[in-house]
Chains A and B, each alone.
Chain A
Amino acid sequence: QSALTQPPSASGSLGQSVTISCTGTSSDIGGFTYVSWYQQHPGKVPKLIIYEVSQRPSGVPDRFSGSQSDNVASLIVSGLQADDEAVYYCCAYGGTTNPWLFGGGTKLTVL
Chain B
Amino acid sequence: QMQLEQSGAEVMKPGSSVKVACEASGGTFNTYTLIWLRQAPGQGLEWMGEISPLGASKYAQKFQGRVTISADDSSRTVYMEVTNLQFEDTAMYYCASPNPYSSCWHCLDFWGQGTPITVSS
Asked if residues B61 and A57 are in contact (CB atoms below 8 Å), the reply is no
Complex Cα distance, B20 from A65, in Å, reads 35
- The reply to whether the CB of B9 lies closer than 8 angstroms to some CB of chain A is no
Cβ of B32 within 8 Å of any chain A Cβ, yes or no, is no
- Nearest CB on B from A37, distance (A): 11
A interface majority secondary structure: loop
Q: Decide: A57 near B60, CB < 8 A? Known: A100-B35, A104-B43.
A: no
Q: What range describes how many residues of A lie at the interface?
A: 20 to 34
Contact between A45 and B107 (Cβ–Cβ < 8 Å)?
Answer: no
Given the interface pairs A97-B61, A99-B50, the reply to whether A48 lies near B45 with Cβ below 8 Å is: no
Q: With an 8 A cutoff between CB atoms, is B54 at the interface? A: no
Cα distance A55–B104 in the bound complex, in angstroms: 10
Whether, in the assembled complex, A52 has its beta carbon less than 8 Å from a beta carbon of chain B, the answer is yes
With A and B bound together, what is the CA distance between A102 and B43 in angstroms? Answer: 11
How many CB-defined contacts (below 8 Å) exist between A and B? 55
How far does the alpha carbon of A67 sit from the alpha carbon of B90 in the complex, in Å? 34
Most chain B CB within a 10 A radius of its CB, from A2, A51, A55? A51
Once the chains bind, are B108 and A46 in contact (CB under 8 Å)?
yes
Would B107 and A51 count as touching, CB distance under 8 A? Answer: yes
In Å, the complex CA distance between A19 and B2 comes to 32
Determine the chain B residues whose CB is within 8 A of the CB of A100 once the complex forms. Answer: 35, 37, 47, 50
Given contacts A89-B44, A101-B47, A102-B46, contact A52 B113 (CB under 8 A): no
Contacts of B111 in A (CB 8 A): 45-46
**What residues on A are CB-neighbors of B46 within 8 Å?**
102
Give the residues in chain A near B44, CB-CB below 8 Å.
Answer: 2, 89, 102-105
Residue numbers in A under 8 Å from B45 (CB-CB)? 38, 46, 89, 91, 102, 105
